[in-house]
Structure 1
Amino acid sequence: MVTGHKFLNDSNEDAVAQTLKAGLDLDCGAYYPKYLGNAVNQGKVRESNIDEALQNLYIVLLRAGYFDGLPAYKALGKNDICTNRSIELATQVAREGITLLKNDGPTLPLNTATFKTLAVVGPHANSTVAMIGNYAFDPRNPGSPCRYTSPIDGFSTYGKVNYAAGCGDVKCRDASLIPPAVEAAKTADATIIVTGLDLSIEAEGLDRLDLLLPGKQTDLINQVAAAAKGPVILVLMTAGGVDISFAKTNPKIKAILWVGYPGAEGGRAIADVVFGQYNPAGRLPITWYQADYINKLPLTSMQFRPDDSQGYPGRTYKFFNGPTVFPFGFGLSYTKFNYTLNATVPSLSAKLQRFTHCHDLNYMANKTKPTCPAILVSDLQCGEYIELTLVVQNVGGKVGSEVVLVYSKPPDGITGTFLKQLIGFQRVYIAAGASQEVKFVFNGCKSLGIVDNAGNNILPFGGHTIIVGDGVASFPVQVTFHN
């Protein structure tokens, strides 16, 4: 705020005053110790503000048992952390985050009776530290995971692994290591290509230059796929989206998994998914744009809404109106789920207070503007709720989990608003042939509100829509206002 953004021309005392009063109780740096005293003396912070922050911090310490006579936390060591239970939890977390993006055939899951020899190739095939991602190591207090299970370690428990790196690192600057990877794929019953990015490509303070795989990784994937004897499974270890349209449409690449940065047990989790010990149910948390997206907007632009006059497609699933490689929320399973909508509340009536004012909205030329287009959410009591009950049935042959996503869509015709917004999700585990009821309860203002171009949080009048998943079920919610 002081040395970087500078947009408020803050002094050090201004910055700590605004930050503390905004709710940041703990400063991990030196600003609070250095400048809070001066801020109090200058009348910018009350002692009561500091008391409140301290109370919050001590409540956390009390809840953690810090003052209960328990052994000091500094006495806890590796044996207290690296238990079998902790390792199993790390593995399960990694499994649940894996997202199945393609599965022709279906090819996955593989079975050990047929696929006994495996070529595991690519710059992340023997990944360890890269699986951890960011914020894992503090140079002031260095540490390391209990252990690493790399992809080749994970796949070695299912078959005989022939490993070839294919690239020197994820930047894959030359093609000299590709031939051994190609040779490995020629004789294997199945080939797993583990590629992607790492903190040398994407990190805080390090912007990517494009949305493609780095260096010769695309060449590695295409050459290995062309030569492979058996099915090819592409595993992507990244945080951000990558344009892999070439792999998505390549008939030789039968399956694609996105695993994020899966943590120390990532290799075991990947192998468990590929061989069907776990049925994947992850969903993409971001939109994967096509590579030319970066040419359609200046990267200095913070505008989310599209601007057709400039050829600008907007940002995020809420506003982006162009083609994608894979959309936000996408993810496949080894089984199939059907949804049945059981009960809804189709209308919501918001009570207007004595001094409530109608808020104006812009509409498309062919739409009639309501008498009272919208109300500021802050002017409403927001006591109205929408209930949604679904029955999710596993109609496939495998036990699995399903992530039920629920979106809201504003009334048609309002300009500048989002296409849809996620308002709730639940993960449910369902045996093959079984079903489970899933219930959602949404606050009307929070779930149907929109933010206009001026930053006002408002509730529009008219016909909203609740959408389940990719449109597998939907129903209207009529919003009206009354005195």
Structure 2
Amino acid sequence: MMKSKTTISKFLKTKGYTFLILSLLLVIVSCGFSQSTKQFEFRDENLSFNKRAESLISQMTLREKISQMRFDAPAITRLGVPEYNWWNECLHGVARAGEATVFPQAIGMGATWNPSLILEMGNAVSDEARAKHHKFVDEGKRGIGQGLTFWTPNINIFRDPRWGRGQETYGEDPFLTSRIGVNYINGLQGDDDKYLKVVATAKHFAVHSGPEKSRHQDNYHTTDKDLYETYLPAFEAAVTEANVYSIMCAYNRYSDVPCCGSNLLLSKILREDWGFGGYVVSDCWAINDFWQPDNHGVVETPEEAGAMAVNNGTDLNCGNVFDPSLEDAVLKELIDEAKIDLALIRLFTARFKLGMFDAPEHVKWAKIPYDVVASDKHYALSERVSKESMVLLKNDDNILPLSKDLKSIAVIGPNADLVQSLLGNYHGTPRNFITPLKGIKEKLPNAKINYALGSDIASGWPTLKPIPSKVLRTAKSAGLKGEYFSETNFKGNPVFTQVDSIISFIWTPKRPIKDLKSDNFSVRWTGELVPEEDGIYRIGLKSSSYGKLYVNDSLYFEYHADYEPLTKYFDTSLEKGTSYKIKIEYENTLSDPQAHLLWAKLNEDLLPPAIEAAKQSDVVVLCLGLSPEIEGEEMPVKLDGFDKGDRTQLTLPAVQIELMKKIKALGKPTVLVLMNGSALAINWAADNIPAILEAWYPGEFGGKAIADVLFGDYNPSGRLPVTFYKSVNDLPDFKNYNMENRTYKYFKEEPLFAFGHGLSYTDFEYTDLIIKQEVKLNDSISISVKIKNTGKVAGDEVVQIYLTHKNRLYQPIRSLVGFQRVHLKPKETRSFDYRIGPKQYAFINQNGEEVLEPGEVEISVGGKQPSTSYKNGSVTNVLSTQVILIN
């Protein structure tokens, strides 16, 4: 026995090693041959996308599969699968990926009431998306914001004006939201029979519209009627009409179950009822909420959370719960690997449908040249969308349009020259920043323009501006010394050193370092700050990626901006003439590099300069409103009237109201321009300011569009996509998701400005309404009416059709069932024809069922809702008639 063992041992030490090595080589060669065969199969462009996805996934290990279910999916080199980051945004233009055309914020898109225009806008945005993506890939860049899967549009219903993210939606009405949303999705995804242009993602599914600060804990309940009448129609249209390829599930729970783990929402409604065939992505880190006890806490471990999400239909995780937790979940038999395979098939089918594994010459979208980005054509379109979004709320005595012969004009207010209020949130980086001040200066080059800030946006929120070079010093000159490094972490020696007079940089489309091959670089600025006045100052650093700010060698703050530029600040007392050492360390890893050293002196009296500017002027334009810096997504902001991105009051901030009253008391002709993302209770202004223009967050050409409207080069034609209420006291509790007394459909009181409201510089008259008095169920209701422009200037009218079910309980006061923009020359008359389909005139019962029954309905056709009147401005009438629905 001992001899035998010794013999075997000697064999293994000699020829046995050779045999073993040869055997291993044979296995490797065999695997390699098999592997290449399979790789060829999933790269075969003649196979279906689904078959190719199945073939690819069959070659993956469980570990590899799970790695592809996170938003930042790593490369699988052995299979030839490149890394891919699924996270991208294009809410109103390609966002956070460097230079792009910035269109008006989504709420402004809704205010156009022009779906065909938004289709055109979607085509332009996806052109830029494709061009940018292929340029990134050519440069070896596959990071966040550089892919073709966009988490847009936000088609939640803006049911409550307190919601800070309502600016991202198309308004409060499901039908208007559906029409705008379907067209934007169609523009984004393209019209090719084989390849998607980009993937659009309808979000946030479902029953999601604030509050922001408790979205990770909240559990919302609705009636079945409200669910199917209000919260689901836009999503259903996105799936069944636009074939949207991705859905993002929401943070909150619905009926006790987290939306990203809801069998009702993701399996029953989305896939079974509507036939959705794409993939579902979680909102970012939403699945963590499943197990975190301070949030939803419905399970105890990350493994259970991941399994719950995937088992119920979530395929992709914006977060890190799936990886590695799903591997443990499989081992613990919380989930079957077949469920993971199903999710992977959906995800890779999307990548195949985008042409990511095919020859670029075979994908027509890959041929879009880069010069479409920020092109003149897209600029003209952005400006047009901005103009069409402008809503003239009030125009007493036709004070507007203003004369271009004015000798002097005061432009006053915190939004008069604030760049951020052009952009809204989720925006790209434009080349143009045409503020109202700049737009008016360009419109009246020979007039004296008297500008003053007048007030901050809100008390405690000063307007930060770049720190001027006159108070920044290096050893020999004004400014700060900048050392520029071609890598992060300030590795090696600087590529070059220069004195920068101010620190306010946006490095798009070019980087600060010539021929830089990646997005990775770093800059260190050093010098001194020597203020010219004593006072308390707010000092801030706004930058992308990673930043640190030191004062007198002490680190005041550092932060990491994961995806978009972030502003961090501190308040401090500074003494005149005292030197304070400043050091900024900035490291960039993203495709939208920028850095800004900002400040503002606190507690300044901004009123006197504004009053003086008004006194010296013939007319005053007050630019007031809100800012995306204080209303938006889950913010740290806590101010009077604002709470973590939401609002607690609907009024303008008190400092702006004071400014408005002081200016009005001077007796000067005054026009109010509002820039904001949500409805405002501007009661005093509605009673005292003769002209009010709602401009929203109007995009990079917003100031030009505002000036064109104010001075009559464009006739305003936007309509409100939301109700303007008189007080927050008119509203139910913010967390109450039942629709009673919400939106124009159920609000029983008189609004300040009604949904659908908008004036013009001309008048429109409706005549000759023709509708059959009896219509059989399931037949369309045909409408014909004549519209005449009775005024002296051309303009767009928005024809609005509302339907009311008579003698039925629990139904809306009225519902929008049709609309159309119509352009009319002076004195021109046009016939307008429309058909209301059965789905539009059906009603939703208490069980959430769509019902078609005999009965009486009232149909109203006009330029506004029936039973609403306006004090002054353009005139438009509404015609109404009764229709009997019969079997």
1:178-229 CA distance string (max 9 Å, x none): 1211111112111100000112332133210101111311000111111153
* Matches of 2:383 and 2:817, distance apart in 1: 29
- Read off the aligned partner of 2:690 and give its amino acid letter: K
1:322-365 CA distance string (max 9 Å, x none): 12111111110000011123432332223xxxxxxxxxxxxxxx
Cα offset for 1:164? 0.3
1:236 matched to 2:527? The reply is no
Q: 1:32 aligns with which of 316, 333, 343?
A: 316
Mapping of 1:460-471 within 5 angstroms?
460-469=853-862, 470-471=865-866
> Is the CA contact 1:16–1:32 (under 8 Å) kept in the aligned structure 2?
no
> Is the CA contact 2:859–2:883 (under 8 Å) kept in the aligned structure 1?
yes
Q: 1:99 aligns with which of 385, 391, 400?
A: 391
Q: 2:433 aligns with which of 148, 159, 168?
A: 148
> Is the CA contact 2:457–2:653 (under 8 Å) kept in the aligned structure 1?
no
Q: Percent identity?
A: 30
* Matches of 2:408 and 2:678, distance apart in 1: 32
> Is the CA contact 1:121–1:193 (under 8 Å) kept in the aligned structure 2?
yes
* Matches of 1:56 and 1:393, distance apart in 2: 49
The aligned residue for residue 89 of structure 1 is 381
Mapping of 1:264-275 within 5 angstroms?
264-275=700-711
1:442 matched to 2:836? The reply is yes
The DSSP-based 3-state class of the residue aligned with 1:88 is: helix
Cα offset for 1:51? 5.0
Q: 2:812 aligns with which of 403, 411, 418?
A: 418
* Matches of 1:283 and 1:10, distance apart in 2: 33
> Is the CA contact 1:117–1:161 (under 8 Å) kept in the aligned structure 2?
yes
* Matches of 2:263 and 2:649, distance apart in 1: 39
* Matches of 2:316 and 2:265, distance apart in 1: 6
Mapping of 1:386-465 within 5 angstroms?
386-412=781-807, 414-444=808-838, 446-465=839-858
The DSSP-based 3-state class of the residue aligned with 2:253 is: coil
Cα offset for 1:57? 6.2
The alpha-carbon distance between structure 1 residues 61 and 433, as it changes in their structure 2 partners (threshold 3 A), is: farther
* Matches of 2:614 and 2:372, distance apart in 1: 42
TM-score, normalised with respect to structure 1: 0.79
Cα offset for 1:453? 2.9
Mapping of 1:225-374 within 5 angstroms?
225-229=664-668, 231-250=669-688, 253-293=689-729, 297-305=732-740, 314-350=741-777
TM-score, normalised with respect to structure 2: 0.44
> Is the CA contact 1:14–1:44 (under 8 Å) kept in the aligned structure 2?
no
* Matches of 2:250 and 2:390, distance apart in 1: 41
Q: Which has the higher contact order (CA 8 A, sep 6+)?
A: 2
Cα offset for 1:289? 0.8
The DSSP-based 3-state class of the residue aligned with 1:120 is: strand
* Matches of 1:66 and 1:224, distance apart in 2: 60
* Matches of 1:304 and 1:87, distance apart in 2: 39
* Matches of 1:161 and 1:326, distance apart in 2: 31
* Matches of 1:257 and 1:172, distance apart in 2: 26
Cα offset for 1:447? 1.6
> Is the CA contact 1:410–1:465 (under 8 Å) kept in the aligned structure 2?
yes
> Is the CA contact 1:25–1:57 (under 8 Å) kept in the aligned structure 2?
no
* Matches of 2:734 and 2:719, distance apart in 1: 26
The aligned residue for residue 68 of structure 1 is 362
> Is the CA contact 2:420–2:627 (under 8 Å) kept in the aligned structure 1?
no
The DSSP-based 3-state class of the residue aligned with 2:852 is: strand
* Matches of 1:10 and 1:86, distance apart in 2: 37
Count of residues paired in the alignment: 425
- Read off the aligned partner of 2:718 and give its amino acid letter: G
Runs of at least 5 residues in structure 2 that lack an aligned partner in the other structure: 1-248, 286-314, 462-602, 635-644, 867-877
The DSSP-based 3-state class of the residue aligned with 1:289 is: coil
* Matches of 2:633 and 2:397, distance apart in 1: 39
Cα offset for 1:480? 1.9
Tell me which structure has the larger Cα radius of gyration. 2
- Read off the aligned partner of 1:258 and give its amino acid letter: E
* Matches of 1:405 and 1:175, distance apart in 2: 48
Cα offset for 1:15? 9.9
- Read off the aligned partner of 1:441 and give its amino acid letter: R
- Read off the aligned partner of 2:271 and give its amino acid letter: K
The alpha-carbon distance between structure 1 residues 43 and 427, as it changes in their structure 2 partners (threshold 3 A), is: same
The alpha-carbon distance between structure 1 residues 50 and 388, as it changes in their structure 2 partners (threshold 3 A), is: farther
> Is the CA contact 2:787–2:830 (under 8 Å) kept in the aligned structure 1?
yes
The DSSP-based 3-state class of the residue aligned with 2:647 is: coil
The aligned residue for residue 375 of structure 1 is none
* Matches of 2:250 and 2:676, distance apart in 1: 33
- Read off the aligned partner of 2:438 and give its amino acid letter: D
- Read off the aligned partner of 1:166 and give its amino acid letter: G
The aligned residue for residue 606 of structure 2 is 177
* Matches of 1:2 and 1:426, distance apart in 2: 32
Q: Which has the higher helix share?
A: 2
* Matches of 2:822 and 2:251, distance apart in 1: 47
The aligned residue for residue 106 of structure 2 is none
The aligned residue for residue 424 of structure 2 is 133
Cα offset for 1:450? 1.8
The DSSP-based 3-state class of the residue aligned with 2:752 is: strand
The alpha-carbon distance between structure 1 residues 343 and 60, as it changes in their structure 2 partners (threshold 3 A), is: farther
* Matches of 2:395 and 2:260, distance apart in 1: 56
* Matches of 1:66 and 1:134, distance apart in 2: 33
Cα offset for 1:246? 0.5
The DSSP-based 3-state class of the residue aligned with 1:27 is: strand
* Matches of 2:691 and 2:720, distance apart in 1: 16
Cα offset for 1:81? 1.5
- Read off the aligned partner of 1:479 and give its amino acid letter: L
**Could you tell which deviates more after superposition, 457-466 or 273-282?**
457-466
The alpha-carbon distance between structure 1 residues 9 and 80, as it changes in their structure 2 partners (threshold 3 A), is: closer
Cα offset for 1:171? 4.5
1:476 matched to 2:882? The reply is yes
Cα offset for 1:120? 0.4
The alpha-carbon distance between structure 1 residues 261 and 171, as it changes in their structure 2 partners (threshold 3 A), is: farther
1:21 matched to 2:415? The reply is no
> Is the CA contact 1:40–1:47 (under 8 Å) kept in the aligned structure 2?
no
The DSSP-based 3-state class of the residue aligned with 1:478 is: strand
The alpha-carbon distance between structure 1 residues 290 and 343, as it changes in their structure 2 partners (threshold 3 A), is: same
Cα offset for 1:67? 5.6
> Is the CA contact 1:170–1:198 (under 8 Å) kept in the aligned structure 2?
no
* Matches of 1:334 and 1:282, distance apart in 2: 12
The alpha-carbon distance between structure 1 residues 10 and 480, as it changes in their structure 2 partners (threshold 3 A), is: closer
- Read off the aligned partner of 2:649 and give its amino acid letter: D
Cα offset for 1:244? 0.9
> Is the CA contact 1:464–1:478 (under 8 Å) kept in the aligned structure 2?
yes
